[in-house]
Amino acid sequence: MGTFGILDTSSSGLHVYRKWLDAVGDNIANVNTVKPTDQEAFKARYVVAQSVEGGEDGIGQGAKIAEIQFGSGEGRLVHEPNNPLADENGYVRYPDIDMSEQMTHLIMAQRGYQANLSVIERARDAYQSALQLGK
């Protein structure tokens, strides 16, 4: 892993959590996006992460994004006859995004990001202290 492996590992965690925060932000921003019934609703984004397998010592090397999955485009139909996008029956399509679930994901992603950032800050402090020993 090397002398600065802890920085690489935490940096990969920061990247994963940042992408998760971006996906949750997109989902929250589009929770009220209206589409006509003949179009698909906004598809929620979900980040799938996986560990990066380690070398000969068997220690993990961090995390990476395995894929971005998308939710259903079916959404939910809402009766809004005054909406300019409504069909002849007065329905429009909204994304099927659960706001409480997205807020839970937001909190988890924020905490993970903060934890990885804290590790980087502690490692930086330790490396700076080690450099001061020689003076």
Q: CB within 8 A of 30, min separation 6: which ones?
A: 42, 95, 97
Lowest-pLDDT choice from 8-12, 60-64, 76-80, 85-89? 60-64
**Closest listed residue to residue 60, CA positions, set 115, 14, 21, 12:** 12
pLDDT of residue 56: 67
In b/e form, how buried is each residue of 73-94, taking b as 16+ CB within 10 angstroms?
A: eebeeeeeeeeeebeeeebbbb
β-strand partners of 68: 47
In the predicted structure, residue 2 carries a pLDDT above the cut 60? no
Mean pLDDT of 41-59: 85
If pLDDT is split at 50, 70 and 90, which confidence band does 7 have? confident
pLDDT of residue 3: 59
Chain position carrying tokens 């395995």: 66
Q: Classify 88 as helix, strand or coil.
A: coil
Q: What is the pTM of this model?
A: 0.84
Lowest-pLDDT choice from 26-40, 55-69, 70-84? 55-69
- Secondary element (H or E) of residue 50: strand 45-51
The Cβ of residue 113 has, within 10 Å, a number of other Cβ atoms equal to 18
